[in-house]
Amino acid sequence: MIQLLSILLLGLWVLRMLTSAYSGAGLFVDEAQYWEWSRELAWGYYSKPPLLPVLIKLSVWVAGDSTAGVRWLVQLCWAVVPLVLWRLGWEMQRDSQRTLSSPHAIGAWAAVLFASSLVSGVLGQVATTDGPLMLFWALQLWLMWRALAQPAHLTRWLLVGLVLALGLLSKYTMSAVLASWVLWWWFAHRTVAVSKGMALAAVVAALAMLPHLAWNQAHDWPTLKHTADLLADGRTTIPAGFAAVMLRLGEYVASQGLLAGPVLWVMALLGLSRWVMNKKSASSASQPSPAVWAWHASWPLWTIGGIQAMQGTAQINWPAPALLGGCVALAWLLAAGQTHWRWRGLVLAVVISGVFSSALSLGGDWRARLGLSVQKSKWDLWGRARGWQEALQPLQALTAQHPQATLVALDRTLIIHSAYAWREQQTMALSWQQTPQPLHHYDLLYRFEPAKHPEPVLLLVMGELPAFVRARYSQVQLLSDPQPAGRALFLWLLKDPLP
């Protein structure tokens, strides 16, 4: 049965690939941006660290640059996470010498619980920074448990530091794991060996981050500034009063419940009910300490997210790694209350969650099959990724008729989607920066400067041509269809710049 459950967990990876492919949508703008970054690898980018573009580079090298080719390796990261939790749970059960109905009880439940979460089922279909972040966060939990079990083994701490660095190079959220380190040290591991080990791991991570920091320093710290802006955004617009703050906190709690999903919620209620019913028995008089250890890997991140939510700066997926420790802690409750080991509950949870996530992801498609419109439907999770290829292909033929012109776009979305749609021609628009400071990666490194780029100019826009463009050129000519079907994308030819 262990082999069967392993096949089911890896089967979720295949199901996610099939679901995203069957959606008929292209890449989301962030995915296309990471793909574009992967064409020219660097130690940093405007808004993200460099590891995800490296993964996409490898993914595309193996499977091509179709949407499936861009996504498959990141989707695999999500599939590996439950297997890491399985190993962690097995070692925790072994090391704590808890006698349960199966030696795989804790690990199997931890793996299934995370695989059953909605964040894994839906977000696991796309190529974002959350995929490698979740993998390295899970690896960090497993390696930290091993290091704390034998703190004198420096090799284990070196591995912890390396995984911490890889997580940070995936997404800065990884730094929040240090709060759990402090809790583990304070409550159970205040020894010289653990202190030295944690310090060694932190030094290894810091050294591994030096090339990324050097890139940031050379470009005036764009990644760190962008992260700081995200954390500070919205603080001046928070409605005053206790009720408004509590409303934001309530929305945050609801969003985290949404990430967990209905299957995980049902299993959580089952586990808590079992714990309440059995807490007076000798075998479960107190919560097992490994469950507390796992809980310390979750609540600090959720708390930080809650504080950000009250300030108006929370993002729904930012605290997602907190589910990892929560799933391990919940696995202890479920396995400890299961007097007779049964695999059918785990298998059923995997199957139901996989079907539910796919059905939810394809919701817009089901509406279309019923003859209902899905244009801008909130139920179509792929809506923002649809129609770009179809809208941009006719414009690419027009750009080919003006090979001497400089291709320019006014916003990041058009630059990225056109670069992906026209990837065979290796065409990418320059960014017409409209603010004193760069707003994205292309303002920073691929800026259009009218004085330095000769005319004519091909300008790609969404919607109406801005007045400042008409004021800059005496000749403006619309080359594309004035009433395009689908997305309202237009190509303009600009000549004779005004002084």
CA angle, 67 then 70 then 76, to 5°: 115
Sign, CA dihedral 237-239-245-251, equals: negative
Which pLDDT belongs to residue 375? 55
Distances (CA, A) of 235 to 231, 253, 315, 440, 447: 9, 19, 14, 21, 30
Measured distance CA(455)–CA(495) in Å, rounded: 6
Pick from 22-26, 96-100, 183-187: least confident: 96-100
Measured distance CA(77)–CA(12) in Å, rounded: 12
SS3 187: helix
Alpha-helical runs (H) found in 379-411: 388-400
Measured distance CA(295)–CA(299) in Å, rounded: 6
Which pLDDT belongs to residue 287? 47
- Looking up tokens 């590891």, which residue turns up? 51
What residues have CB less than 8 Å from 468, skipping those under 6 apart? 434
Measured distance CA(296)–CA(318) in Å, rounded: 17
Q: Who wins on pLDDT, 325 or 364?
A: 325
User: Which residue, among 484, 428, 492, 417, has the nearest Cα to 460 in the 3D structure?
Assistant: 492
Q: Who wins on pLDDT, 2 or 485?
A: 485
Nearest 10 degrees: Cα torsion 319, 321, 323, 327? -160
Mean pLDDT of the chain: 88
Which pLDDT belongs to residue 371? 65
Measured distance CA(173)–CA(231) in Å, rounded: 11
Domain boundaries, given as residue ranges, for the chain? 2-361, 387-497
Does the structure show a pLDDT above 90 at 124? yes
What confidence tens digit (pLDDT) does each residue in 220-266 have? 898 888 887 776 654 444 455 778 888 888 888 998 999 999 989 98
What confidence tens digit (pLDDT) does each residue in 354-379 have? 999 998 888 766 666 666 655 556 66
Identify the band that residue 49 occupies on the pLDDT scale cut at 50, 70 and 90.
Answer: very high
Sign, CA dihedral 88-90-91-95, equals: positive
Does the structure show a pLDDT above 60 at 456? yes
What confidence tens digit (pLDDT) does each residue in 279-321 have? 655 444 444 589 899 999 999 999 998 888 887 766 788 899 9
27 Cα distance to chain centroid: 14
Is residue 448 within 8 Å of 430, Cβ to Cβ?
yes
